[in-house]
């Protein structure tokens, strides 16, 4: 299958390894992977911060970039959530019917990595090897907007060598919320403190999730406490094999 990668601005700039892992994993599974260099950012940060006119510019740019793609796969539940759930809102609120039609034509072809693998491809064992103790954080947008369900867990359960430990209060938000973490830093920190405690209680070597934004937040808290637990994106675990260690 021809797959267009959407690597998201945060992954591109801050977590390139996640993009590499996604590309290599999908190629390993036999897909033709493309990266359209025109892509930038889904506009979620603008939209969620109240700058919806500015976000529209990025919505249009995304639609222009991926209009001809067969399938778009992104290693981010939150950005795919933006595209699938909020692009239609963005077009509606701007009373732009033409854009709405384009968005509606494109969004059914845009997937988050784990839902693409499990729900679309029917895959659980992707041939990964990762000999570590890992706990999984369910990110809010993957869980409640995309309804990926247990897709990431099913993938992790089939990773050889991996010791999966349950995270207490797994369905609780980590408190990132984009600009929320800056606009309401104390509240965000209080939420993070609980999340970090829960992660540390598992004694995992790594905490994984399908979103680097949440992981950046959780990782920021773990790093500040010098906890020794790392954060690693799900794609990097799935891309790792005996021969090639990604994460």
Partner 1 sequence: MSAGGIKPARPFPAAARDTLGNAQMRRNLRHATTTIREKRQRAVDELPNWEALRDEAAALKDHVMAHLSEYLLELEASVQARGGQVHWARTAQEARSIVAALAQRHGAQEVIKVKSISTDEIELNAGLAAHGIHAIETDLAELIVQLAEDQPSHILVPAIHRNRAEIRELFQRKLGAELLTDDPKALADAARTYLREKFLSTTVAVSGANFAVAETGTVCVVESEGNGRMCLTMPDVLISVMGIEKVLPTWQDLAVFLRVLPRSSTAERMNPYTSFWSGVTPGDGPQEFHLVLLDNGRTDVLADDVGRQTLRCIRCSACLNVCPVYERTGGHAYGSVYPGPIGAILTPQLLQLEDENANTLPWASSLCGACYDACPVKINIPEVLLYLRGQISDAQPPSVQAAAFKVAAWVMSEPHRFEGAIKLARTGQGPLVKHGAIHALPGLLAGWTASRDLPAFPRQTFREWWRQRPAAQEHGPDRPEDTSETAGNAWEPL
Binding mask 46-75 for partner 1 (x = CB under 8 A): xxxxxxxxxx-xx--x--------------
Sign (positive/negative) of CA torsion 131, 137, 141, 143?
positive
Antiparallel, parallel or unpaired: β 2-5 and 32-34: parallel
Coil, strand or helix at 168: coil
Coil, strand or helix at 161: coil
Determine, following the binding rule CB under 8 A, whether residue 191 of this chain makes contact with partner 1. Answer: yes
Q: Which of 69, 159, 199, 222 binds partner 1 (CB under 8 A)?
A: 222
Determine, following the binding rule CB under 8 A, whether residue 197 of this chain makes contact with partner 1. Answer: no
Q: Which of 106, 118, 159, 247 binds partner 1 (CB under 8 A)?
A: 247
Q: Which helix (H) or strand (E) holds 91?
A: helix 87-93
Q: Site residues for partner 1, window 130-169 (CB under 8 A)?
A: 132, 140-141, 143-145
Q: Which of 109, 190, 201, 242 binds partner 1 (CB under 8 A)?
A: 190
In the complex with partner 1, the residue whose CB is nearer, 53 or 109, is 53
What torsion do the CA atoms of 140, 175, 14, 207 make, to the nearest 10 degrees?
-70
In the complex with partner 1, the residue whose CB is nearer, 122 or 245, is 245
End-to-end CA distance of the chain: 26
In the complex with partner 1, the residue whose CB is nearer, 114 or 138, is 138
């Amino acid at each position: 299958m021809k797959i267009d990668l959407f690597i998201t601005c945060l992954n591109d700039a801050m977590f390139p390894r996640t993009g590499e892992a996604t590309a290599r994993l999908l190629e390993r599974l036999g897909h033709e992977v493309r990266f359209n260099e025109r892509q930038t950012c889904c506009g979620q940060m603008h939209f969620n911060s109240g700058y919806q006119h500015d976000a529209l510019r990025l919505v249009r740019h995304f639609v222009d970039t991926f209009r001809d793609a067969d399938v778009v796969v992104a290693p981010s539940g939150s950005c795919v959530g933006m595209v699938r759930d909020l692009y239609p809102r963005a077009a509606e609120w701007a009373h732009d019917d033409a854009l709405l039609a384009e968005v509606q034509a494109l969004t059914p072809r845009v997937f988050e990595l784990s839902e693409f693998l499990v729900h679309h491809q029917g895959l659980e064992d992707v041939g990964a090897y990762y000999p570590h103790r890992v706990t999984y954080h369910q990110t809010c947008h993957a869980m409640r907007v995309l309804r990926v369900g247990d897709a990431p867990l099913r993938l992790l359960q089939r990773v050889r060598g991996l010791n999966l430990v349950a995270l207490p209060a797994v369905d609780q938000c980590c408190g990132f919320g984009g600009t929320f973490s800056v606009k309401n830093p104390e509240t965000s920190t209080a939420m993070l403190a609980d999340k970090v405690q829960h992660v540390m209680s598992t004694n995992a070597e790594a905490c994984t999730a399908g979103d680097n934004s949440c992981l950046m937040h959780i990782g920021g808290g773990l790093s500040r406490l010098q906890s020794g637990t790392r954060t690693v994106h799900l794609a990097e675990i799935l891309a790792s094999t005996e021969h090639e260690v990604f994460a």
